[in-house]
Structure 1
Amino acid sequence: MDFGSPTKASAVGVFAAAARTDALATRGSIPVDLPPEQTVQSANAGEAVRLDLKARSEQAARDEAARQQGDTRRQADRQREQAMRDVIERRIVIDPRTRAVVYQKTDRSTGETITQLPTEAMLKLRIYSRELTERARQAEAEGGTAQYVERTA
């Protein structure tokens, strides 16, 4: 199947480039043998770079003040943490009823327990499970029917 070749547009005639009217010889330019439309002119360099030392020293002073303020905040945070360490007592205790290791954080001034691992509810569940197991063993030893307690969670 032939679609044929697409038609190509071709230029008819010769085009002459228009002479540039904005290309003017500037003072200090070098004469060349090129026509005006092919010449290149340099752009203005613009203003010189200025270094404002006073503004830089003011910025450095602001940066130093911000750094000192940050140091002051960090020091206040450290003092607060130290005060909290002095107020909170951490200890590890073995619970006599369950014989489990218990981690406690208590407030020294009030004696109140802030955090405890394992929780009081978990310790009570362990006591309840241990009592059920003991009752089942006693019932089995007395010749009754054995009731099994599953201890996996």
Structure 2
Amino acid sequence: MSVNKVILVGRLGRDPETRYMPNGDAITNFSLATDEQWRDRNGERQTRAEWHNVSLYGKLGEVANQYLRKGSQVFIEGKIQSRKYTGNDGIERTAYNIIGNEMRMLGNRNDGFDSGNNNAAPPTSNPPPAAPRRQPPQHESTTAPIDDIDDDIPF
């Protein structure tokens, strides 16, 4: 058995770019930065950022293109895929790409929105009203407790 699963939480390093395949399906690409922090032997805080190339397909890619911007915090779940290519210097290299199949936007709604970008969805000033909470019915139990309830459980 083998598993190819990636879970990332990070911030976009650039605005998403969407292209369309001949069949009309969207492919959205962006870079995602994750970081880790630790203290070295001297007690100084160290940080290392890791950059990931992410691709989202279809409707998920279109949603990402519409709502995500550079700096947006996002959760991505998917798989890692490698491809080999030859660089301009003639050396064969391997590139790794994250193929996302799930995305969740994190942070507040102002994360990643640039006031000069007309394509970004502006934060709404009047959020939709919350659905009323339903209270569970208040019933008084009129039946006596059952002592042999274990006999009715099928496991």
User: Which range, TM-score by smaller chain?
Assistant: under 0.3
Higher relative contact order (CA 8 A, sep 6+): 2
More strand by share: 2
TM-score, normalised to structure 2's length? 0.23
TM-score, normalised to structure 1's length? 0.24
Whose Rg is larger? Answer: 1
